Chain A
Amino acid sequence: MKTKKIATYGLLVALAFILSYVETLVTIPFPPVPGMKLGLANLVVLAALYTMGGKESLVLSVLRIVLVGFTFGHPSTMLFSIAGGLLSWILMLLFMKTKWFSLVGVSIVGGISHNIGQILVAIYIVDNINIAYYLPYLLITGAVTGTLIGILGAMIVKRIKNVQNT
């Protein structure tokens, strides 16, 4: 049991690394939003949420932010990852508990809150509320990435559960 848990952690951290690397290659086409990342690595937090539990997914979320932050990021982008990561984790957990949505819906909540968390940091850093102008674009990108991540997440969750049950 314990080894399986460690193995799942390892698997998901590795996946987070790959996704974070992919993310550095992709830029949001329009409009270029300051400090913005797509949040593909939310996939692993989502997977952890559904295969391991709330506490474990938080551990994974923090682990991912710190490890990936030191590998690919600048110290200045860390704050964005933390704000986006924690806000999306807490909202995904809450919405998972309500059972209103499937995993895909929860992922959409995660995608949107990830983006909102980041724009809040940007507003705070430059001290200019007008950046909220990007919010509608962030809602839409959040919904789209959230849906894609949710569909992928559902497939990964199924595979992890298969492994856990063997």
Chain B
Amino acid sequence: MIKKNDLILIGAVIILGLGIIFFINVTKTEGSKVLITIDGKEYDTFPLDEDTTFTVELDNGEYNTFVIKDGQVDMTEASCPDKVCVRHKEIHYNNETIVCLPNNVVLQIIGGEEDEIDAIAK
């Protein structure tokens, strides 16, 4: 019933997926800051080397609380219904994100080596 082409497709997709994960893992660089965006607009940045707890409070009463500790950011509490952001593991590599879709709040790691190279190039 299952054709040879089906198996090739499954194999190709899984290899492609693992390949991209591998590529991301070997090219990833440590970030130095976390950028908070709300509704796609930049809200604030925090350095990763200072431990802190911060709550983003939105105009509509929703909130997201994140903790910076040991150079990593973790979302620890949120008012959203799905809690996807809270279940997400802590992040510290460049361009890694924790997204709270219902509240439209994004934490993104920035300011690692790559950015510095860019800055020097400019």
Interface residues, chain A, with chain B CB atoms under 8 Å away: 27, 31-36, 74, 76, 100-105, 108-109, 112, 122, 125-128, 130-131, 133, 135-137, 139-140, 142-143, 147, 150, 154
Contact = CB atoms under 8 A, between A and B. Distances in A.
B73 to A, nearest CB: 14
Contacts of B10: 108, 143, 147
Contacts of A131: 97, 99
A137 B102 CA distance: 21
Contacts, number: 103
A150 B2 CA distance: 9
Given A143-B10, A154-B1, A130 B108 contact: yes
B95 A130 contact: yes
Interface of B: 1-3, 5-6, 9-10, 13-14, 16-21, 24, 37, 39-40, 81, 84-85, 87-89, 95-97, 99-102, 104, 106, 108
A131 B99 CA distance: 8
A153 to B, nearest CB: 11
B101 A34 contact: yes
Contact of B17 (A35, A128, A140, A147): A140
Contacts of A105: 2-3, 5-6, 9
Given A102-B3, A137-B17, A139-B16, A32 B88 contact: yes
